Every structure is written in C-alpha cells, then in structure tokens.
Amino acid sequence: MSIETYIIYGLSAILLIVSFVFDKEKTKKGLIRGVKSFVKLFPILIPLFLIIGILLAVISPALISSFLGDSSGVVGYLFALVVGSITFLPPFVAYPLGTELLEAGAGLPQVAGFLVTLMSVGLVYFAAESKYFSKKSGRYRNVIRFIRAISVILVVMVMY
C-alpha cells in the first residue's frame, strides 16, 4: 500500500475516535448504517469488479496503450471522451478502473477525460432525464459537461 493509503486510514481512525468521544450513540448508529449500506452494495460490487477484472485480463496493456496511451494523440482523447460519455459505472468502480488503466499504460489526460465524462455526461440517462426535464435541458447539460471534460483534459495536459 502507498503512503497515501496509510494516511487516509489513519485519518479515518482518528476521526472515528474523535466522533466516538463526542457522541457514542451517533457514532454507533453511523457505523451500523455504514455496515448496512455496504451489505446492500456488496452484491452489486462483486459482479462489477469481476467484469472489470476480466476485461482488464482480456484486453492487453498494449491495446489500452494504443487507444489511451500518451502517444494516442487526439484520437485517444476523443475515444476516452466518447466511451466515458456512453458508459455508466458508479464512482466506487470508476476510480479503481482509472487506476488500473493508468497502470496498464493509459495516459493521464485520457483517463482524466474518461472519468470526467463517465461521472458527468449522461447519455445513458438522457431518455429518463428528458422525461422529467426537457430534452433541451438534457442536451445543454451534456454539451456543457462534455466541454468541461475537454477543459479538464487540457488542464491535465498542461499540468502533466
């Protein structure tokens, strides 16, 4: 594990102790709620992690690097933006997938664009969104968030 992981675990433990000192009942209720939420999510997590694991085992790092690597250029950025826009994954699966993609040879700007569109552009939700809101608002939201994802790629490119 990395040092960041130890820091996060340490801070979590300290904050849990502080919470327990201030209000034991609320802390117990919060822990019970957290465990119940985890138990509800567990049947969803296992298949998602299995699918991602299988996909990453089947798809070679060379293939990932060719589509999303640093040398993929504009095509790699567009591929990441489009795939992220039409894919749906919950954040607790998407971020570990991003880490796996980076370890498999994907470029940081491409993964950043993929994750931003994955979390913010909702082509999967467009039909439901247009039912409750208008199609016009759904289009505006998706276009604005797509443009924001492009700006994130540009910022990461400059910073990276």
**pLDDT averaged over the chain?**
85
Report domain extents, the chain: 60-160
Task: Concatenate the DSSP letters of all residues of 10-71 into one string.
Answer: HHHHHHHHHHHHH-HHHHHHHHHHHHHHHHHHHHHHHHHHHHHHHHHHHS-HHHHHHHHSGG
Amino acid 65: pLDDT: 75
Q: What is the pLDDT of residues 71-123, one digit of tens each?
A: 888 888 998 898 888 877 778 778 888 888 888 888 899 999 999 998 888 77
Check pLDDT > 80 for residue 139: yes
Q: What is the pLDDT of residues 23-48, one digit of tens each?
A: 999 999 999 999 998 888 788 778 76
Residue with the two structure tokens 């327990």? 20
Amino acid 15: pLDDT: 95
Amino acid 1: pLDDT: 67
Check pLDDT > 80 for residue 128: no
Amino acid 56: pLDDT: 66
Count CB neighbours of 152 within 10 A: 17
Compare 52 and 40 and report the one with higher pLDDT. Answer: 40
**C-alpha span between 18 and 71 (Å, rounded):** 48
The mean pLDDT value for 131-146 works out to 84
Amino acid 31: pLDDT: 94
